[in-house]
Amino acid sequence: DALKNLGIKTLDKKGASRLELLDQVEHGTIIITAHGVDEKVIKKAKEKKLEVIDATCLDVIKTHDLIKEYLAKDYEVLYVGKNGHPESEGSLGIDPKHIHLIEQNLDIDKLDPNKNYVITNQTTMSLYDVYQICNYAKEKLPNLTIAKETCQATTIRQEAIAKIPQEVDIVFIVGDPHSNNTKKLANIAKEKSLKETYMIESVHDIDIELLKNKKIAAVSSGASTPTYLTNQVIEYLNQFDYQDHNTYQKPELDMSKII
């Protein structure tokens, strides 16, 4: 709905990869998101004479290069990530036969302990989840090399949200509720800081009644959330006074600062 409101048509088909979705595009420009894609997607786009703008995050490119480096050394690659996530899809597509998606410890138990492995991860995964799986893998796989790669924007946010001061009464995480790193931030806030936590897409999602008897709020956001949306939430909360109804009015969203 958020994309539709911005005038963006979504190409989607349950279970379809980005390579398959490309069949629906006959002309124009393809923008590769920060998540990156399987190289076959870019190749197919160029074969269809489409203009390709590659905006893949440098951290994701670094992970792809690392995967290729170890595959060339005949290693099996363990990729800690989420099934169906666009970043995982792009990374696994490099070599589906020798890259294994790891979502839980049970996936480690299915592997041959005699092979050489390197373990890396989806850059937006929770640091705590990645560390837990890596530690388990070290116990089970004697020939394991650990090469964790994490988006710096995600790392900084996760570490900060885990250290929220005790005096904070409520936490707002700004971002797409379907975003992996936005959900992870909210979970960390709840589990590590034990704070009352809410995910919102913009200032308009703030329920006024949640602010009753609250003195201090903490605000964080997903790595891909527009700074404009986060700042608008912060500015609104800074001026808010539950006793003064004149501070209740929420500002309009300027779409030109989002798109």
Candidate list 51, 69, 87, 89, residue with the active-site label: 87
Output the CA torsion 159→187→228→179 (10° steps): 110
Candidates 143, 19, 21; CA nearest to 92 is 19
In this structure, how many other beta carbons lie within 10 angstroms of the beta carbon of residue 90? Answer: 25
Strand partners, 76: 117
User: Helix or strand or coil: residue 76?
Assistant: strand
How far apart (Å, rounded) are the C-alpha atoms in residues 156 and 111? 32
Please indicate whether residue 87 is annotated as part of the active site. yes
Query: Using CA atoms, how far apart are residues 86 and 4, in angstroms rounded to an integer?
Result: 20
Which two three-digit tokens encode residue 217? 């709020």
Which residues are tagged catalytic?
A: 87
